[in-house]
Amino acid sequence: QVQLVESGGGLVQAGGSLRLSCAASGRTFSYAMAWFRQAPGKEREFVATNRWSGGSTYYADSVKGRFTISRDNAKNTVYLQMNSLKPEDTAVYYCAAGTWGTEASGYEYWGQGTQVTVSS
């Protein structure tokens, strides 16, 4: 069983930065860790993913060059550094653990989500 707890969301002006954290507990060493987001009235969409071992990463085109996913194995924590934020980045951000990929169906475990709001 894997438990995920996100933190770090908040309100920021356009152009600003936030860093989200996802603290994981349980057997996470074999899973890819990912971030998804869901804006009001929209489907959940892939943001970034990172293999727990090996460090391979993959980003959605909409965030490439602005967001960075990383992890601290010692702390069992995954981060999402978000720079140059835009109003369209406003969403609830979810951490997930599962199979490497960009589809939500490939991830078995989910956190409760953290709200990110970017004002114009």
Q: What is the mean pLDDT of residues 19-31?
A: 87
Name 54's Cβ contacts closer than 8 Å, sequence gap at least 6.
Answer: none
| Average pLDDT score, the chain | 93
d(CA 25, CA 14): 33
Q: H or E segment at 47?
A: strand 45-51
pLDDT band at 68 (very low <50, low <70, confident <90, very high): very high
Q: What is the mean pLDDT of residues 25-38?
A: 88
57, with CB counted inside 10 A (0-12, 13-18, 19+), is middle
DSSP β-bridge partners for residue 22: 6, 78
Q: What is the mean pLDDT of residues 1-10?
A: 94
pLDDT digits (tens, 9 = 90+) for 80-98: 999 999 999 999 999 999 9
pLDDT of residue 56: 87
Please calculate the CA angle 102-104-109 and round it to the nearest 5 degrees: 120
* pLDDT score of 54 more than 80: no
Name 63's Cβ contacts closer than 8 Å, sequence gap at least 6.
Answer: 47, 48, 82, 89
Q: What is the mean pLDDT of residues 58-74?
A: 94
DSSP symbols for 7-45: E--EEEETT--EEEEEEEEES-TTSEEEEEEE-TTS--E
Q: What is the mean pLDDT of residues 20-43?
A: 91
